[in-house]
Structure 1
């Protein structure tokens, strides 16, 4: 059975690791420099911790990289720096929410060091939260990753071109996180003008529930770099980057508010729109 390595075993990474472990894979990761929260998530997912990244690269035949978007290239550099005879031909799968150009840059770094590379992206919550996430994959070896014994997640090969899977994510995330940003701003403005109740009655939950807004706030610090990656992706398509540069400013502001201080798994499903507004006012 293929040994899987994880670089970045946070909420999403540990969830993907769990989905593979449930399929029978041995999943390893390093906790060096990671938080107590990450150690807890790794333990709950049943993953096997190793002391250092070098050990992960030596043992794992496939390495999934699941970091915040702004750390994607640093992760690629760290992997490339540890290349050696024991890592030749190992397959690195960049699952980060980055622009196609960033995915291509990551590919250049790791392939120059002797690794294989697959571009990937994730649409949906961690499998430990809700089964069914789509895992978009592209590149000449994408089928190898799709053939792993995934459970609670669905791999989708979108082509053999590195960057295609990331392009899917940039388009879908622009809608999902853009709408959530709009809803969050609408709730904040409505509360400031003391019209929150009629605004929520009019909008309903079609554009986001209070729980979903609070969950987004808990992840806002990650969204900032992702919005900039979307802006870069849209600029490469000949579109203005201004819209998602503005969303980066929105999520930067949200990330500094009290509601953003918790972890995603601790957000209460009972939170109200008023609770969201209050948590973003301070």
Structure 2
């Protein structure tokens, strides 16, 4: 048992509420979808989930700060600067097209410490969670979870490598480096969004990398991956996630054993 057991229980409650709202709107014929200023879609399910989570946190953790993708930040008045970081539906493009690979991401950061992470993918019937020092787990829900851990693969030639869209890597000037890594690995797939990271935490693949993510995209993933024995940094080897609302950072997640090799292989920005 860790010092964050009550916070984890609350995070599961938030995830339960998010699941109920999102599943009710998934594949709904009257689903409303708009385009945000950054040209990404937002559905009425995204906004409804975040509103519900905000209401519950205001009731149960009024001193904690909050950062959500749809409604921004509110400051923490907690002495440790605790804040919850929420992505109501990660994988909105999947959600609006009827693809079941989407999840609600719920994180608690205690100062700079990633303390709690919950990733709930109800259309897949799967949830992942972790607390700092308490291990990482996965299953249909908190009453039926098993401890998970990363793989022991030691060579890139034996590694299953996951990545985000090729367009993002091209925009980052590292497409050639990524393609060389994919050719060097045993297998490559682009599962996308949260899913590749959770497969990494379960040991089903060995590397997941994206060139540009917002804080809410990755905050809940970090404690799960690290408690499963993995390593998460940016492309420069700095702890990730970094940055504040409105900023983005790269993410490289591995089983730990492969991390230095993967960073070296991706450290080749194209010449402009």
With structure 2 as the length reference, what TM-score do the two structures score? 0.31
Larger strand proportion, structure 1 or 2? 2
Q: Which structure's CA Rg is the greater one? A: 1
With structure 1 as the length reference, what TM-score do the two structures score? 0.30
